[in-house]
Amino acid sequence: MEQAAFYAFAALTLGAGVFILLTRNLMYAAFALFLALLGVAALFVLAGADFLAVAQLMVYVGGILVLLIFGIMLTRIPDPEATSQTPNRVLVTLGRGFWGGAVAMALFLVLFLVIVQANFALVGDTLNSRSTIRTLGVELMTSHLLPFEIAGILLLVALVGAAYLAMNRNPDPTE
C-alpha cells in the first residue's frame, strides 16, 4: 500500500516535471509546478515528515506559486488579438534544448551512479510513527535558536527589500 502510494506520487512529481520541461505555455508550467509540489509534499509524508509536508503546502503552494503566477501575469507581452474568450497562453521560447537535455541527462547519470555505488551504511533507528512536530519545535527553540531568528530577520529583510525594489521610482511623466 505504502509502496504503491510512493510510486504513484513519485510518478506524479516526475511527470509534472517533464511536462514543465516540455510545455511552451508558462501558465501551464506554473500549474504543473503545483502538481509537482503536491507530489513532493506527499513524498515528505511517506518519509515521515508530517510537519514539513504541511509547511511545504503552505509556503510553496500558498505563497511561492501564487507569487510566480502573479509574476507571469504581470510580465507577459499582451496579445492584441486576445479576447476574454481565448484561453490563457503565455508562450515562452525554448532555447538551448540540446545542451540543456544533455547536461541534465549527464548529471542524472552521474548522480545515479554515485547513489548506486555509495551503498550507505545507515546505523541507528529509523523514524517511528509518532509525529515529528514536538521534536522539531524543541530543536528549533533550543539548539537551533540562532538560525531560527536569523531566518526570521532574513524574511523581514527580503520582504522590505522586495517592496522597495518593486516600487516604481520613475513615474511616467505623461501620467
Partner 1 sequence: MNSAIPLFHFLVVAAALFSLGLAVAVTKRNVIGILIGLELMLNAVNLNLIAFSRHDPVLLRGQLFALFVIVVAAAEVTAALAIVLRVYHHYGSIDPDEVGELAEKGE
Residue ranges in 131-170 that form contacts with partner 1 under rule CB under 8 A: 132, 135-136, 139-140, 144, 147, 151, 154-155, 157-159, 161-166, 168
Binding flag, residue 120, partner 1 (CB under 8 A): yes
90 and 24 in contact (C-beta within 8 Å)?
Answer: no
Q: Which of 3, 82, 70, 68 is nearest to 37 (CA)?
A: 68
Residue 25, SS3 per DSSP: strand
Residue 145 Cβ, how far from partner 1 at the closest point, in Å? Answer: 11
**Least Å distance between CB 119 and partner 1?**
10
Q: Supply the minimum distance, in Å, between the C-beta of residue 167 and partner 1.
A: 9
Residue 94 sits in the site that holds partner 1 (CB under 8 A)? yes
User: Taking Cα atoms as reference points, which of 72, 63, 5, 62 lies closest to residue 39?
Assistant: 5
Binding mask 42-81 for partner 1 (x = CB under 8 A): -xx-xxxx-xx--xx--xx--xx--xx-xxx-xx-x----
Helix/strand/coil for 78: coil
